[in-house]
Each structure stands twice: as C-alpha cells, then as structure tokens.
Amino acid sequence: MFVSRFWYFLLSAAVGLVLAVMYLLQDSMNDGLRKNVDDLVQADFAQVQSSLKLQARGHLDRLSEITASEPLREALLPLAELSVLEPPGTPAAASTTPAETPPAANPAPPTEEQIRRMTGTLRGVLGDILKARFQDLRRPFLLALNRHGEVVAHEGSFPPPEAQGAEFGLYGFPSVRAVLRGYERDDIWLVRIKGKTFMYQVAGRPVVHQGKYLGAVLLGRPIDDEFAQEIREEAGLSAQLFFFAGNTVVAKSVRPPAPAAKDAEPAAPTPEIEPQVIVDTVAREAKDWLAYARQPARPLVDVGNGYRGMFAPLRGEAARGGAGYLVLRPVVAVASPWTVLKEASQQSLAKVPVVTIAAICLGAFLLAMLWIYLERDRPLAFFRKQALVLKGKENERFNAYLFRGKYRQIAVDINAAIDKTVKAVAASTKAAGPDVAQILGPAGSSLKLGSQPIAGFDDEDSAAAKAAEPQAAPSQVDLGILGGPGAPVLAHPPLPTT
C-alpha cells in the first residue's frame, strides 16, 4: 500500500503546487496591474501639467491681440494715472508708481461722474472683446488695471458674487507687479472671500501706448469642476483630477471623457473617492508643504483604499497657500485565483496545450489505477476467494501463510476468533447435557452383574449400604467373573532357562 499512498501524496502535492502557482500568478498579475497603473498615473500627471502650461501660454498669445487693440488703449488712457480706490482729487501714492515710467501730470482730477463714465466705457470694450474673441472659453473674465494695479474695469466671472460691488486692487500679487513693469506672466490665484476659497488661472500682458505703460489686461478663468473636466477632455484622460487648496477640494473631475469617435462606446465610470480622503492623503504625504513644493520629484502615493495617485503644487503664488492638483486612478486587482481563469481571453485559451495536458492526466490516472489494483484490489480478491473456501468447509481455518501484509494479520485474527468460538460452544454443550443419575435411574439402584455392582456405577449411598450389610460368601460364578479367589488360575508354561 505504500506505492498507492505515495501516489496520493503526489496527487496532493500536485494539487497544492497548482494552487500555489495560481496564487503566485494572481500576485504577479496584481503587481503587473499596479505597475501599469503607476505608469498611467505618471503619464496622466505629465499630460495634465503640459495642458495647464499650454493653456496659460495660449491665453498669453491671445492677449497680445487684445492689448494692441486701439479701442482698449484709448479707453484705458484716461484711467492710467487715476486711483479709483481714493477719493477724487487725492493724488495717487507715489510709492505704487513704477519709477521707470513716471505718471503724467493731471492738474484737473476727474469727478466721480466722469470716472463712472470712463470705467463704463472701458467695461463695454472688455465686454465686446469677450464676446468676439473668447466664446470658446468657459466662464472667462477680463480685468483692466491702471498703473497702480487697481482694477478700473472688469467683465466676466470675476470677482465672485461674494465680492461684487467692491473696488479692489491686485498690486499685491507678484505676477501683477511684474506685468505692470512690462513682463508677460501667467499665474494661479488663490482667493478667500467670506470663508470660501476660489482658484483662478490668470495670464497678463501690459498695455503700451506711445511708448508708455498705461496698465495691464488680465485674462483668467475660474478653476472649477468644468475647468477640471475640460483639462481631462483635452488630454483624453480617464484618470480622475482634483484641485485642492489646504483642507478644501476646490474642483474635481471624475466623469470619464467623451469618446473621440461618434460610434465609440463611452468609458466606464470609475468609482468616486471622497474629497476628505484627498485632503488627508496630501496632509500625510506632504507634512511640510513648502518643502515638498521645492522637491523636483513627485512620488506615487496610495490614496484611500485601492487608488494610486500623484500630486504637485500649482505654479505661482497659489502654491504658497497649499494649492495643488492630484491625478488619481483606481487600481484594478485580481480578486481571486479563479478570476484568472474567468478573465482569460479566447486567444490565451487557444494557446493552452490541451492534448498534452489531457495525455498526462490520463497516463497518471492509469498508473494510479494499476497501483491500486496491485496493492488493494488483487489481495482483496484473493482474500475473498479464501473466505469462500472457508465458507464451503473445505478448510476449517484460514491458512495465514497464504496472505501478505495486513491480510495475514486479519486471517490470524479470524482463526483466533474461530478457535475461541469452538471452545465456547463445547463448554456450553457439556454444561447443558444429562448426568449419569438421570440416565441410570433412581439413586438407590445400581447396575449389577450377578451379586457385584459394575465398577464405576455405584454412588456413595449404595456403597454405604453395602458396607452395612453382612458379607456373603461369593459364589463360584461371581468369583469367576470378577476374578476372585475362586477363579481358576491359568497355568503358564515354564520360562525357558539358559
């Protein structure tokens, strides 16, 4: 039986090996899928970064035509040196005027009515430009700044509703100061008004008239869910995109992009992750935000449960306020080894050597059946044959030496059981049989031949009664029969002498 048991061990080991290989294959596939997700996240991150830069550069290029517009320069000229944040007649602070372009003399400051008329004219010009040139942008805005960095006119989605009706200046932004000095700049603004956080993408160019800087024009867009979705559509990404600032997720895009072809099927929606998970991940991975922003490398991180992502600070002043963006993808994992078989493609199944595997399995099965026959079926059949011989009373006991292994011990045990049973039956038969008194009659009688009882048939009472009776002389017949003194003595011939 050792060979068949060894075969069972081999069969168990083979099953265990197959399961181990399947689990290793599952783990290997998960590692491969995770690596693919990491590569896709890195590619998506680079694509988003490029899209943000290209959008900013495109806005700067489009502003070059606007700042060269004659109606815009004529509308901005009377407001260039005027401070709209101070009462009429108050000269503008000299400290806010660039030293290289001294302001022109203005002996007669305009009245409030004149200022409203001039700002209204400039605002109308900005409105016409938005309708004519920026219909393709979602919620754009234009800001006209004088030389002091004050917003003298605006049109579009800025400022937010929480700040409507207020006059404000933007000279505190480094990018605005650079534009007023004659540079082109693009920036990301982070504005907090009444407990709400707003984020804007801004590009600015100076306005020059007859060699003098009149101010600047800023083109911007709010960074909201529509902006994030547009970035994804431009890049053709299926990854999720989040814009955050500190502990707030300002914008997100989790919907899959529209298919490029009309007959193409839309991408499957990906599970949406909670914004708080994004904030917690950024706080965990970038405890010192400014130090993280200075690092050139952007590591891949685990976001929540089953997501991989990469985040980075936004360009410009918004980065100092903790503003950044995150690209996120769910990690597709093989749940169980059986999923490998379920998800196998027809091409992969066609490459499986079915004939070879079937031949190996069939050969192993036949070999196992042979071992089972030699070690179990054949000895058992011989034992059954000997049992039939014993049943037919050709033998009274098993011949244990005809068997091997455990069947020999079984035969010995059966023989011992047979012997024990025979002894028990014999003992019970002797105990239940009739005694001599029952066969010979009453206890007072005895079987006699002549005047003497037969030896062996007298009981104790008969012997006592006989001893009490007077002894009579034995007859010749009795003596002759019993060999008493009256019996004739046979004479023997004399022994030969030497």
Q: What is the distance between the terminal CA atoms of the chain, rounded to a whole angstrom?
A: 79
What is the CATH topology of the domain spanning 2-102+109-225? Beta-Lactamase (3.30.450)
Q: Count Cβ atoms within 10 A of the Cβ of residue 308 and give its class: 0-12 exposed, 13-18 middle, 19 or more buried.
A: buried
Query: Is residue 82 a contact partner of residue 152, using CB atoms and an 8 Å limit?
Result: yes
Residue 400 CA to residue 395 CA, distance in Å, equals 12
The predicted model scores a pTM of: 0.63
DSSP β-bridge partners for residue 370: none
What's the confidence (pLDDT) of residue 256?
Answer: 63
Helix (H, G, I), strand (E, B) or coil at 358: helix
Residue 328 CA to residue 334 CA, distance in Å, equals 19
DSSP β-bridge partners for residue 248: 245
Residue 414 CA to residue 201 CA, distance in Å, equals 99
Query: Is residue 93 a contact partner of residue 22, using CB atoms and an 8 Å limit?
Result: no
Residue 493 CA to residue 52 CA, distance in Å, equals 154
Peptide bond into 494 cis (omega under 30): no
Peptide bond into 159 cis (omega under 30): yes
Residues in Cβ contact with 333 at an 8 Å cutoff, skipping those fewer than 6 apart = 30, 33, 34, 306
DSSP per residue over 32-63, as a string? HHHHHHHHHHHHHHHHHHHHHHHHHHHHHHHH
Residues in Cβ contact with 468 at an 8 Å cutoff, skipping those fewer than 6 apart = none
> Which part of the chain has CATH 3.30.450.20?
2-102+109-225
Question: Which ranges of the chain have pLDDT less than 50?
Answer: 88-102, 104-106, 261-268, 444, 447, 449, 454-457, 472-493, 495-498
Largest Cα–Cα distance of the chain, in whole Å? 197
What's the confidence (pLDDT) of residue 28?
Answer: 85
DSSP state of 456: T
